[in-house]
């Protein structure tokens, strides 16, 4: 049975005693991260992706309201649950925090029972929300991300690549002669083959941000952030070899005696003015080239 990792809580407070009190309170049940100011809170939230943030409102240089505003402005942290913990206990202070998007508001001085109850409640809500999101974002047959999830993450990674000057690679992979496979072996066998290819694609992903998704039918799409053309092409070629290594017999194929796949890809270069649609179309065009060249191969747009 796999071990369930404890949920992560980030405590951001400029007062060392408050940080220590909250840390000691939470550590028996959760993984606790600490930040002593707003900048640290933003950096640790982005790097560690905590499940919940306990955020002091009154801090020097950057108050809790500004930290929350920046968290909400970043697509990676926009949905992060935040509870304000503050000595400002007027009703209008609490209302202001909730209007800004905080999940809850706890007044100081800290009451241990109240804090633990509120934290447990909101972490349960986080778990439930993520379960629903997973069901909405996962393809039922392959258990890969679905097209909707790919489109969401592609838009986010596109913006990050353009803003930071990072490369971004996209590839489309299509199982060769899959219609003939289904016709010859039957659709249940086709579903098993597609799941096997999906597992190979999932295992081929190397970085935490890499994504393999089912784009439609027997076509998969790979999203490889911060990956240059050489690295991306090598990864996709390795995936093609892994599909062949599955050694699934394909008597109806004119390509090979076993199931194979073709792929096409393209890489956004730093400083490029190419649009997201242009990059995806380039990957699709090169998938077509791979098929035209005989299938069971990878075609990649050369760097320009």
Q: Is 15 exposed, middle or buried (0-12, 13-18, 19+ CB in 10 A)?
A: middle
Give start and end residues of each alpha helix (H) in 138-177: 147-164
Half-sphere exposure of 141 (CA within 13 A, CB side): 21
Which residues, including other chains, have CB under 8 Å from residue 24's CB and lie 6 or more apart? none
Three-state secondary-structure class, residue 27: coil
Does an H or E element contain 130, and which? helix 112-137
CA distance 275 to 278: 5
CA distance 53 to 38: 12
Q: Is 173 exposed, middle or buried (0-12, 13-18, 19+ CB in 10 A)?
A: buried
Which residues, including other chains, have CB under 8 Å from residue 175's CB and lie 6 or more apart? 181, 193, 194, 197, 218, 219, 243, 259, 260, 261
Phi and psi angles of residue 153, each rounded to the nearest 5 degrees, phi first: -70, -35
CB-based contact 234:159 (threshold 8 Å): no
CA distance 289 to 245: 23
Angle at 26 between CA 21 and CA 29, to 5 degrees: 160
Active site residue 219: no
Which candidate in 152, 218, 219, 274 is catalytic?
218
CA distance 239 to 200: 7
Q: Which are the catalytic amino acids?
A: 218
């Amino acid at each position: 049975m796999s071990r369930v990792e404890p949920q992560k809580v980030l405590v951001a407070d400029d007062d060392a005693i408050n940080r220590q009190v909250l840390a000691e309170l939470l550590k028996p049940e959760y993984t606790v991260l600490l930040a002593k100011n707003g900048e640290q809170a933003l950096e640790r939230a982005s790097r560690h992706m905590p499940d919940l943030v306990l955020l002091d409102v009154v801090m020097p240089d950057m108050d809790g309201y500004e930290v929350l505003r920046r968290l909400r402005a970043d697509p990676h942290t926009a949905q992060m649950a935040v509870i304000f913990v503050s000595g400002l206990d007027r009703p209008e202070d609490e209302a202001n925090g909730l209007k800004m998007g905080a999940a809850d508001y706890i007044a100081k001085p800290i009451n241990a029972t109240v804090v633990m109850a509120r934290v447990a409640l909101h972490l349960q809500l986080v778990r439930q929300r993520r379960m629903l999101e997973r069901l909405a974002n996962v393809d039922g047959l392959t258990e890969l991300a679905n097209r909707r999830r790919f489109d969401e993450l592609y838009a986010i990674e596109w913006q990050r690549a353009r803003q930071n000057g990072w490369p971004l690679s996209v590839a489309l992979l299509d199982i060769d002669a899959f219609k003939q496979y289904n016709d010859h072996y039957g659709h249940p066998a086709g579903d098993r083959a597609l799941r096997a290819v999906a597992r190979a694609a999932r295992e081929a992903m190397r970085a935490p941000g890499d994504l393999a998704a089912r784009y439609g039918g027997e076509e998969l799409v790979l999203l490889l952030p911060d990956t240059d053309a050489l690295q991306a092409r090598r990864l996709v070629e390795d995936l093609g070899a892994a599909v062949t290594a599955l050694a699934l017999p394909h008597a109806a194929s004119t390509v090979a005696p076993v199931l194979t796949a073709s792929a096409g890809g393209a890489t956004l270069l730093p400083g490029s003015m190419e649009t997201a649609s242009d990059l995806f179309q380039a990957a699709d065009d090169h998938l077509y080239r791979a098929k035209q060249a005989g299938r069971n191969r990878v075609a990649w747009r050369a760097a320009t």
